[in-house]
Amino acid sequence: MENPIPIDFSDLNPETLQQMSSFEDVIVILASREGEICELINKADFPQMDRYLQSDDFQKLSENDFIKIDFPADYKAKKLVIQKVPRKASEKNQRKAGAKLGSLAISNNILVLYDRSKPEYYAEGIALKAYKFEKFKSKKADEKDNSNNCTILCKKSDQARRKFEPLNNSVSGTFFTRNLVNEPANTLTTESFAEQLIALDELGVNVQVLEEKELKQLGMNTLLAVGEGSASPSKVVIMEWKGSDDNPVAVVGKGVCFDTGGISLKPAKGMEQMTMDMAGAGVVSGVMKSVALKKAKANVVGIVGLVENMPGSAAQRPGDIVKSMKGDTVEVLNTDAEGRLVLADILWYVQEKYNPSWMINLATLTGAIVVSLGHEYAGLFSNDDKFCKRFLKSADFEGEKAWRQPLDVNYDKQLDSRLADMKNIGGPYAGAITAAQFLQRFVKKDTPWIHLDIAGVAFPAKEGDFAPKGPSGWGVRTILNLIGKSF
């Protein structure tokens, strides 16, 4: 499923419950820890139900887990799923409960008997987890995927359907991000990436692509230096959604479509994963798609720097000195510390042109943040405590974990260069922090700013609560929530 599965809602009443006995695919019934199920179900009509609820398998379940009964007695369904979900649960928990069923929803039609509050969050969880990327498989695992759907029987179905729509738009943006990150570098070049973003104009996004000639005129030399060794032209794509007259907010993304490390070549082992080094730009793209689908009453600017870091004959060398758009000079000691060079110019550009009320950048920037936080949390760096707290509150609500890291002037000493204003690496210690300190030099003091190092969460090693193994789309929903609360 490269697009969200169809999910609909119907009223939960005795008439619609009749669907349950004749439904032939997968039925899901929610039960409390004590084994209580929807009071509308007449257990006399389903004599095996008590047996299922009193079984050791059900009793041993953790919260939100479920048992599956194949070809259950009393039903025509091929599977009956009984899921242990509390009667009173937060939106976060309802989303997690729904996500537990996502893998089933990929290849089955599902009928859910949902006698809880806020079914829209349960549906969002199902949609987020029901993701599969098979674009490059000649034989799809299940050719019936496009016909699968999920129906949720609940109270006030019209209201649930209305409230689910903006959540599903967020899922669509998340899937757009995952799809981009899943693309190999031979198909997601800087040019094809830009083309996919240009297509957002069909949704009302104003898209502008700055080519290398314009970037040179603007003085974006640190960004251009990264792509000098590649046949793919470097580009900057600017996306504008003007849904209000307020001062814009800005979302900025690193888009290294493939990262060999350049002349400072990476080890061969694991290099294939560097197709995901554009994940920051992917998140920005997903945010802009969702903002447009939601028709958000917000003024949002998304900007991404698209480059490829290759060791060609024209590639920048360790020891080169380049001048940024801001005017600061950078001594490039390691060409594999390239993401900060891309971000430096576009961070400065977006501030100069748009004067945003706040700015967030996302990048798979350092391996050091993975050493520090693993694949559970993104590293968050900020120059504004109030803005940081708002972001963390939004991230907590969406179930996207972030952990604040320090910024301290004492780390700046590690960036001192003998020949230039700064060097692009800070030595073997505190690598994620010195990378953030580098970026902060291109942030104006009066701009509330957050840097998110998503190297550990953009493409985690195992499946997460809301995504199968592979790209997570981390950050799309949190930023959308933040934008929604900002106006």
Q: Catalytic amino acids?
A: 266, 340
Nearest to 319 by CA among 307, 308, 329, 304: 329
Sign of the C-alpha dihedral, residues 35, 11, 118, 401? positive
Task: Tell me how far apart the alpha carbons of residues 438 and 449 are, in angstroms, rounded to a whole number.
Answer: 13
* DSSP-based three-state secondary structure for 32: coil
Which amino acid would we find at residue 275? T
Q: DSSP string of 394-407? A: HHHHHT--EEE---
Nearest to 205 by CA among 279, 305, 307, 294: 294
Q: DSSP string of 411-432? A: GGGGG--SSSSEES---SSSHH
Please answer whether residues 126 and 432 qualify as being in contact, where contact means their C-beta atoms are separated by less than 8 angstroms.
no
Token representation of residue 473? 């789309």
Task: Tell me how far apart the alpha carbons of residues 100 and 466 are, in angstroms, rounded to a whole number.
Answer: 8
Nearest to 67 by CA among 94, 93, 28, 97: 28
Q: DSSP string of 197-254? A: HHGGGGGT-EEEEE-HHHHHHHT-HHHHHHTTT-SSPPEEEEEEEESSSSPPEEEEEE
Token representation of residue 414? 């590690």
Instruction: Give exposure, 334-373, as e/b (b: 16+ Cβ within 10 Å).
Output: ebbbbbbbbbbbbbbbbbeebebebbbbbbbbbebbbebb
End-to-end CA distance of the chain: 33
User: Which residue in this structure is represented by tokens 């997968």?
Assistant: 26
Task: Tell me how far apart the alpha carbons of residues 85 and 58 are, in angstroms, rounded to a whole number.
Answer: 12
Pairing of strands 66-70, 299-309: unpaired
User: Which residue in this structure is represented by tokens 């990476």?
Assistant: 266
Question: Radius of gyration of the chain from Cα atoms?
Answer: 24
Which amino acid would we find at residue 86? P
Task: Tell me how far apart the alpha carbons of residues 9 and 85 are, in angstroms, rounded to a whole number.
Answer: 19
